[in-house]
Amino acid sequence: MKKIILSGILLFFFALSLNALTIEGKVVKVSDGDTIEVSSRGYLYKIRLMGIDTPESSRNAKFKRDISKYYENNEFNIFIKIPPSKLLDLGQEAKREMYRLVYGKIVKVEIEKVDRYGRGLGWVWLGDTLVNAYMVRKGLARPYMLSFSSKYYSLIKSAEAEAKANKRGIYAY
């Protein structure tokens, strides 16, 4: 299994050096509301959904940052307005929704880069649904490190506007 993962990582970096990689595979693990693992052609890819951030589903170091940092990457951290117990509930709900939506299903992932943890940062498609935008529309994620030049900026921002207008999830506070 380690050889498969290592080979996948090497293939991953080679493909990304060419500027992009699109994979299609089965979701075999949901780590939380914005991180999944996809099995494709014998390789395992850990994918962090690009352009969004979901609340944490456990009291880890990032959870502590989410409830204490007002600004993050030059954007207002909306998680700080949510009571910690509710934030955990929303994180668990985000994980459950991601699991319900994609676990065991075939997705297409447009990987744009690799983060410092070796995860592919990408746009995840389930059929015609951009999962990244879906999670924002449900109020279970916020736009995060999303620049105007991002490939799906308008889809993510319109999903956020809809969630805010309907006071869904994280936008209910």
Check 56, 93, 110, 160 and give the catalytic one: 56
Catalytic: 56? Answer: yes
Among 65, 31, 75, which Cα is nearest to 49's? Answer: 31
User: Measured between alpha carbons, how far is 59 from 24 in angstroms, rounded to an integer?
Assistant: 32
Calculate the CA 40 to chain-centre distance.
19
Catalytic: 119? Answer: yes
Check 97, 119, 137, 142 and give the catalytic one: 119
In angstroms and rounded to an integer, the radius of gyration of the C-alpha atoms of the chain is 16
Check 48, 93, 97, 137 and give the catalytic one: 48
148 to each of 30, 140, 155, how far by Cα in Å? 28, 21, 11
- Residue type for 13, please? F
**What residues are annotated to the active site?**
48, 56, 119
